Structure 1
């Protein structure tokens, strides 16, 4: 496959890079990350109103751009590069695919229009440390006029602040894909109820905020269920695979940036009367960092092309699980190892508060654990290659 950006894709990539370089400076990131919300609301409004980047994958019929995952990955690469503190990943890379894939056009349109208007959203599904649908522990049961949900969601990206919640629950007694449903909820309508509790969960990565959501006998109307109830397990898995590709792009962007920061520092830092960049050992480290970044970029944009096939429901959609696993496993290690090498190349000052390398190192470690570790994705690849206990790969397409 020969990959080249179109003029439109290159323009989106360059515009995003220029904007985030100006608006997501070190000072701006540090100011946003200490707030409970975790991002600057004015920056989010600029992303939505001025650049319209939140509408990349939204359909043109609703006023979106109607583009695909290559464009989305180009934006996520630059967000990772500049550690942008925003609800973009939760809203555009998790909630939007869930709304579009799980619900009918009639169901999802009102919620997507609210997102187009600048509201934020997130997807909550993790109840225990298991991959995919196995992580879902919240339960629901049909009642007169709707559904009753109960459960505890952990590690929800922007879960404490999102305006719209997509909650995943299963029928009691079911496992795996069976019995899984997605429910959409207006968070503001539940502020004064005792059925839901949301709180910020501080973690290692201060630049991306996670929340915890507890629900207890939350009553929802019939139309809150996206699609046919109990039949959305395959959809959830595809949504998570699409989000995995987007997260890998963010990791790749971060890997590029720590490489650039390290190289720049070694050109300025002198030892024994000359810049340490002239030492062969440093050159070898820089070369290894560059190799990891470039291979990560290839894996990531290949996965973006496959994700686009899945998004458009085309022939290669069935390859998404494999492409997502390849991209995430390699990008996770490339980002973390590059961040570690950058710390070494900075010497003792690398992990001090004054330098940004430690922020990238924390993001690298946190994102490595999100949506499956490298080892877990390699296990997935092994099962796919050996065709061991795998469900129909095209079921969610």
Structure 2
């Protein structure tokens, strides 16, 4: 299977990264932490940029692209720690009026959790007995709901892409800090223990990337295009579950290792590392948990 990105895919990824760097850079991220509520202006800009309508047909106002392209864009969103119910609104485009343009904020319940419920204009699924819970991530308000978890394949995969982007970003942060920070007159990146940490982070990221990209191609072939959610509308298969499992592990463990490279500074607001760890913890519990993914993989084996 060929995973080399096409020129159009590279341009899509580069363009969206540039958009987020200009509109939601580190300063905007920290400002969002101290500002309650969703930035509706930013949400509409994301809609205008095509984040939510990416997979809609061109005649419906979308870009007519597929799940692999959506994964690339969501990877960039995860890299920037972009807040909001991105997955739910993206999947609602074409079925909920205004979701495609960002005029409507859509939340969705996975049977256990729902994010940004208080800010949502529409809610997909009926959250039963929704109760607010304290979230470790200040940019992901959560409600716990009671019901049977039904993990939608595309939702699982796009959440995995968010985790992948976070894992890649914490790898970059660790390497940059290891090059600049000096101890005993030498960059700490010259010490073997730090080299090993950074190398392990890179390996986790690339293994997760291969799994997520491969699952996006398979999910697309199984009905994950516009109007479909992969696997004929059923739950995720072992490949999709495995991609989420690897992406969760990469996001959480990379953030922890990045914190270790940064030392105590990683827990301060000067660094984004602690925000990546908190977001990774939340995402790891959404749509499908590691234990649930392991059960699916075991059943397939």
TM-score normalised by the chain length of structure 2? 0.88
Residues 85 and 273 (structure 1), Cα distance of their counterparts in 2 relative to 1, 3 Å cut: same
Contact conserved, 1:336 with 1:365, CA < 8 A, in 2?
Answer: yes
| CA distance 1:113–1:270, change in 2 (3 Å) | closer
Distance 1:199 1:24, change over 3 A: farther
2:256 to 326, 329, 340: 340
Contact 1:90 1:158 in 2 (8 A): no
Structure 1 gaps of 5+ residues are 101-107, 130-154, 171-196, 215-232, 386-397
Select the structure of larger CA radius of gyration: 1
- Match for 2:172 among 254, 257, 260? 260
* Separation in structure 2 between the aligned mates of residue 252 and residue 12 of structure 1, nearest angstrom: 17
How many residue pairs get aligned? The number is 295
Measure how far apart 1:7 and its partner are: 2.4
Matched, 1:289 2:201: yes
**d(CA) in 1 for partners of 2:131, 2:32:** 18
Q: Given the alignment, which residue of 286, 298, 301 partners 1:382? A: 298
* Mapping 1:94-173, distance limit 5 Å: 95-96=92-93, 108=95, 111-113=96-98, 115-116=100-101, 118-126=103-111, 155-168=113-126
Cα separation, 2, equivalents of 1:240 and 1:277: 41
What's the secondary structure of 2:237's corresponding residue? helix
Does the 8 Å CA contact 1:205/1:366 hold for their aligned counterparts?
yes
Please show how residues 317-356 of structure 1 align to structure 2 within 5 Å. 317=231, 320-356=236-272
- Please state whether the residue corresponding to 2:17 is helix, strand or coil: helix
Question: 1:19-50: CA deviations, max 9, x gaps?
Answer: 1122222221122233332x32221121112x
2:163 aligned with 1:251: yes
The TM-score normalised by the length of structure 1 is 0.68
- TM-fit CA distance, 1:60: 2.7
Cα distance in 1 for residues equivalent to 2:75 and 2:155: 13
Change (3 A) 1:264 1:307: same
Q: Could you tell me how far apart the structure 2 residues matched to 1:92 and 1:202 are? A: 25
Quote the residue 1:40 is aligned against.
Answer: 39
SS in 1 for 2:64: coil
Cα RMSD over matched residues? 2.7
Please, which moves more after superposition, 158-167 or 305-314? 305-314
Tell me the alpha carbon deviations over residues 248-298 of structure 1, each in whole angstroms, 9 at most, x when there is no partner: 111111001011111111111111111101111111111111111111110
The secondary structure found in structure 2 opposite 1:4 is coil
Structure number with the higher strand fraction is 1
- Tell me if structure 1 keeps the 8 A contact 2:164–2:250: yes
Which residues of 2 match residues 189-228 of structure 1 at below 5 A?
Answer: 201-211=133-143
- Report the alpha carbon displacement of residue 308 of structure 1 after superposing the two structures with TM: 1.4
Query: Any idea what SS the aligned residue of 2:108 has?
Result: strand
